[in-house]
C-alpha cells in the first residue's frame, strides 16, 4: 500500500480515532500517538511528501477531559458521538485493580461498547491488554480469535467463551480486528499499522529510533503457571504438588493414578475441568516454567537445569523450550537473567 501512496497523488493516509475510556493507561495513548508522529516525520524526510500523514482524533464518552490512571487529565477533541468517521479505531488499555472492581468498571462503559458496535465495519479496530475486554464486551469478537494480557487469560475465557483466545501471541488479527497482548504490545500494534500504510522501510526506521523489537511476536516467555493454582479441585491440587516435587521422574504422569488412588480417566477429566489441559501437558508446561525460573535466577548450566526438570536429551529439551517460549534456553537466559 505504501507504493500506492508514492504513485497516486489522490491517496491519503488513514485517519485514526482514539476512543479513550476513563482510568486508561496514559502510556498506551501517548506511545501509540508518538509512533504515528515519528512515522509521519520519517515519511516526510524520506519521500518529501507532507500531505500524506496519519491524522488522529481523541474522543471520550462525553467529550470532557478524561482522567488517566495516573490522575492526569487528558483533553479530548470531542465526544464519541461527535467524533468524525475514521479508518482506524484504537481503544487504549484500562487499569485493572481487582476482579470485583474490574467487573464494575466494565458495567460503566456501555456507551463506549455501543459506539464500538455501531462502528463494527470500520476498516481496522485495534486494542491490547485490558482494552481487548472492551472489544469483547461490545460483541465485536464473538466467534473470532484474539489475544490479551497473559495474566487475564482465565478471566477472559470464563467471561467470553465464544472467543478463541490465542494467549501465546503478541498480536492476533481476525478480519478487521487487531488485538495485542500485555505490556508494550501497543507499540507493536502501532508498527503493524505503520507497516500497512507506509511500508517496511518507514516501519524499520521507526522501530530503530524508538528501540522497539520487531522480532518479538510472542508473549510466551512471560507466561507463568502461577494462576493455574487458582482452582478448588483438591485432587488436582494434590497432583500439582506431587508433580512439582517429582519433576525429575520420567514417568511422573504415569505414576499419578497410583499415587492418588484414582483412575487415569478420572485424573484427565479433573485436570481438564480445573485447568483446561491434560496432566501430560500440565507437566510439560511445569517443567519449562521451572527451567525458565532457574535460567533467570541461577548460573547453573543448561545441561544441569535440563536434568533437574526431568529431561535427558539436550536437543529435545532445547527444541521444546524454544517452541514454548520463542527463545532457546541460552537466549532466554541472556534476555531475562537477573
3-state secondary structure of 182: coil
Please tell me the distance from the alpha carbon of residue 25 to that of residue 95, in angstroms, as a whole number.
Answer: 6
- Tell the burial category of 154 from Cβ atoms under 10 Å away from its Cβ (0-12, 13-18, 19+): middle
> 124: which strand partners?
88
**Predicted local distance difference test score (pLDDT) of residue 195:** 93
**Predicted local distance difference test score (pLDDT) of residue 100:** 82
Closest to 91 measured CA to CA, from 52, 55, 61: 61
**Predicted local distance difference test score (pLDDT) of residue 146:** 96
Q: How confident is the model at residue 229 (pLDDT cuts 50, 70, 90)?
A: low
pLDDT at position 67 over 60: yes
260: left (phi over 0), alpha (psi -120 to 50) or beta: alpha
pLDDT at position 186 over 70: yes
pLDDT tens per residue across span 144-182:
999 998 888 888 998 999 999 988 788 999 999 999 998
Average pLDDT over residues 56-68: 96
DSSP character at residue 266: H
**Predicted local distance difference test score (pLDDT) of residue 7:** 42
pLDDT tens per residue across span 19-34:
999 999 898 899 999 9
Domain 2-220 has CATH 3.40.50.2300: no
pLDDT at position 304 over 70: yes
- How many residues would you count in the chain? 338
Identify the residue with better confidence: 338 or 63. 63
pTM for this structure? 0.69
116 Cβ neighbours under 8 A, 6+ residues apart: 19, 89, 91, 125, 134, 135, 138, 140
Q: Where does the chain hold its CATH 1.10.10.60 domain(s)? A: 226-336
* Euclidean distance between the first and the last CA atom of the chain, given in angstroms as a whole number: 43
**Predicted local distance difference test score (pLDDT) of residue 220:** 60
Please tell me the distance from the alpha carbon of residue 122 to that of residue 107, in angstroms, as a whole number.
Answer: 24
pLDDT tens per residue across span 108-139:
999 999 999 999 999 999 999 999 999 999 99
Of the chain, the percentage scoring pLDDT greater than 70 comes to 91
pLDDT at position 184 over 80: no
* Cα–Cα distances in angstroms (integers) from residue 281 to residues 148, 157, 241, 335, in the given order: 22, 19, 15, 26
**Please, what's the b/e burial string for 40-61 (b: 16 or more CB within 10 A of its CB; e: otherwise)?**
bebbeeeeeeeebbbebbbbbb
Q: How confident is the model at residue 232 (pLDDT cuts 50, 70, 90)?
A: confident
Identify the residue with better confidence: 193 or 323. 193
Q: How confident is the model at residue 56 (pLDDT cuts 50, 70, 90)?
A: very high
Q: Where does the chain hold its CATH 3.40.50.880 domain(s)? A: 2-220
28 Cβ neighbours under 8 A, 6+ residues apart: 92, 93, 128, 129, 131, 186
Please tell me the distance from the alpha carbon of residue 148 to that of residue 138, in angstroms, as a whole number.
Answer: 16
Fold classification of 226-336 (topology level): Arc Repressor Mutant, subunit A (1.10.10)
pLDDT at position 225 over 70: no
**Predicted local distance difference test score (pLDDT) of residue 11:** 54
Q: How confident is the model at residue 249 (pLDDT cuts 50, 70, 90)?
A: confident
pLDDT tens per residue across span 278-291:
999 999 988 998 89
Crossing angle for the helix pair 329-336 and 279-297, to the nearest 10 degrees: 50
pLDDT at position 105 over 80: yes
Please tell me the distance from the alpha carbon of residue 82 to that of residue 235, in angstroms, as a whole number.
Answer: 56
Amino acid at each position: 500500500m505504501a507504493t500506492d501512496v508514492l504513485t497516486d497523488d489522490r491517496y491519503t493516509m488513514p485517519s485514526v480515532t482514539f476512543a479513550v475510556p476513563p482510568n486508561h493507561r496514559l502510556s498506551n495513548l501517548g506511545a501509540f500517538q508518538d509512533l504515528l508522529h515519528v512515522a509521519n516525520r520519517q515519511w516526510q524526510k524520506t519521500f518529501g511528501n507532507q500531505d500524506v500523514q496519519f491524522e488522529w482524533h481523541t474522543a471520550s464518552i462525553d467529550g470532557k477531559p478524561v482522567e488517566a490512571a495516573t490522575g492526569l487529565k487528558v483533553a479530548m477533541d470531542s465526544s464519541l458521538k461527535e467524533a468524525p468517521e475514521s479508518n482506524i479505531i484504537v481503544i487504549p488499555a484500562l487499569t485493572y485493580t481487582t476482579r470485583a472492581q474490574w467487573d464494575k468498571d466494565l458495567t460503566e462503559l456501555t456507551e463506549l461498547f455501543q459506539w464500538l458496535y455501531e462502528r463494527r465495519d470500520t476498516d481496522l479496530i485495534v486494542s491490547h491488554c485490558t482494552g481487548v475486554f472492551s472489544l469483547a464486551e461490545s460483541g465485536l469478537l464473538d466467534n473470532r480469535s484474539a489475544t490479551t494480557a497473559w495474566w487475564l487469560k482465565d478471566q477472559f475465557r470464563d467471561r467470553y467463551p465464544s472467543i478463541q483466545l490465542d494467549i501465546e501471541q503478541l498480536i492476533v488479527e481476525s478480519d478487521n480486528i487487531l488485538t495485542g497482548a500485555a505490556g508494550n504490545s501497543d507499540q507493536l500494534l502501532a508498527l503493524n499499522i505503520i507497516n500497512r500504510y507506509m511500508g517496511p522501510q518507514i516501519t524499520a526506521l521507526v522501530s530503530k529510533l524508538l528501540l522497539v523489537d520487531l522480532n518479538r511476536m510472542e508473549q510466551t516467555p512471560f507466561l507463568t503457571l502461577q494462576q493455574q493454582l487458582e482452582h478448588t479441585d483438591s485432587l488436582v491440587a494434590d497432583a500439582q504438588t506431587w508433580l512439582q516435587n517429582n519433576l525429575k521422574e520420567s514417568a511422573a504422569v504415569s505414576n499419578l493414578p497410583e499415587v492418588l488412588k484414582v483412575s487415569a480417566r478420572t485424573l484427565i477429566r479433573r485436570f481438564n475441568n480445573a485447568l483446561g489441559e491434560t496432566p501430560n501437558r500440565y507437566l510439560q508446561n511445569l517443567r519449562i516454567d521451572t527451567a525458565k525460573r532457574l535460567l533467570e535466577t541461577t548460573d547453573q548450566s543448561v545441561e544441569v537445569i535440563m536434568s533437574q526438570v526431568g529431561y535427558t536429551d539436550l536437543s529435545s529439551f532445547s527444541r521444546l523450550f524454544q517452541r514454548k517460549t520463542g527463545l532457546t534456553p541460552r537466549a532466554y537466559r541472556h534476555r531475562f537473567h537477573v
